[in-house]
């Protein structure tokens, strides 16, 4: 994934025509489009190949199973045309390792969820977040997912993983996080969904976030 605009669109719409229309509109303003369960369950896995015409595709299936099942899932998703897959870290080293190895073979990326952006992540996940970040660094994953709603945690996670791994951060806009603050905390890309796809003018919404990011670089 090329680091140009530092913006990733979370495309959680349910209609494939709408997904294509928005992707076309934001071309050039986003470095990648994140596609997850809502869109794929509503429109089929082949939507990944269609959207790959507009940007790199990050498949957000938060893969969280035993190693063999994780590998089977990642194979399907890479075969469908995704450039990266999001994997949960809490399942442990072996479940992660098999995904990272497969991605390396195929010249693709794995991003590992550390601590999530919603309030409930404080119940259990935050305690494991730093350990997961260390594991992702040890296994040389491409990067980790850290919350834009808590820029101080992005800073902590950056200290743990160093500069070899990327950080991608959801939670900007609808969840209250700020693109500028998250970039200043050390994230590489912010992930934005509703603020862009629910806007009357998704291209302008994306452009505005990109200029907010550029202002602090």
Q: Which of 41, 28, 74 is nearest to 210 (CA)?
A: 28
CA-to-CA dists, residue 8 to 190, 193, 203, angstroms: 6, 8, 13
- Over the window 20 to 59, marking each residue x when it contacts ligand O7E by CB under 6 A and - when it does not, the resulting string is --------------x-x-----------------------
Residue 12 three-state SS: coil
Interacting residues with ligand O7E between 186 and 215 (CB under 6 A): 191-195
Give the pair of three-digit tokens for residue 87: 């994997």
Does the protein bind ligand O7E through residue 145 (CB under 6 A)? yes
**Any idea which residue has 């890479």 for tokens?**
78
Does the protein bind ligand O7E through residue 177 (CB under 6 A)? no
Is 3 designated active site? Answer: no
- Binding-site residue total for ligand O7E (CB under 6 A)? 22
Q: Flag whether 178 is marked binding.
A: yes
Does the protein bind ligand O7E through residue 170 (CB under 6 A)? yes
Residue in the shown chain whose Cβ atom is closest to ligand O7E? 193
3: Cα within 13 Å, side-chain hemisphere: 11
Is 79 designated active site? Answer: no
Query: How far apart, in Å, do the first and last CA atoms of the chain sit?
Result: 19
Smallest gap from Cβ 12 to ligand O7E, in A, equals 5
Catalytic residues: 60, 62, 65
């Amino acid at each position: 994934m090329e680091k140009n605009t530092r913006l990733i669109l979370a495309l959680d719409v349910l209609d494939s025509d709408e997904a294509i229309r928005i992707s076309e509109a934001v071309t050039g303003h986003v470095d990648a489009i994140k596609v997850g369960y809502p869109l794929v369950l509503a429109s089929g896995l082949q939507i990944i190949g269609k959207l790959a015409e507009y940007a790199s595709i990050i498949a957000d299936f938060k893969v969280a199973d035993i190693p063999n099942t994780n590998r089977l899932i990642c194979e399907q998703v890479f075969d469908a045309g995704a450039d990266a897959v999001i994997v949960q870290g809490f399942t442990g080293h072996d479940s992660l390792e098999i995904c990272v190895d497969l991605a390396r073979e195929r010249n693709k990326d794995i991003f590992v969820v550390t601590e999530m952006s919603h309030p409930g992540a404080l119940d259990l996940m935050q305690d494991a977040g730093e350990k997961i970040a260390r594991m992702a660094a040890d296994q040389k994953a491409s990067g980790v997912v850290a919350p834009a709603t808590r820029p101080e945690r992005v800073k902590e996670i950056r200290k743990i993983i160093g500069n070899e791994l990327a950080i991608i951060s959801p939670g900007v806009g609808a969840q209250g996080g700020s693109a500028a603050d998250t970039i200043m905390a050390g994230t590489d890309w912010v992930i934005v969904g509703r603020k862009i796809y629910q806007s009357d003018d998704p291209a302008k919404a994306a452009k505005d976030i990109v200029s907010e990011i550029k202002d602090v670089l």
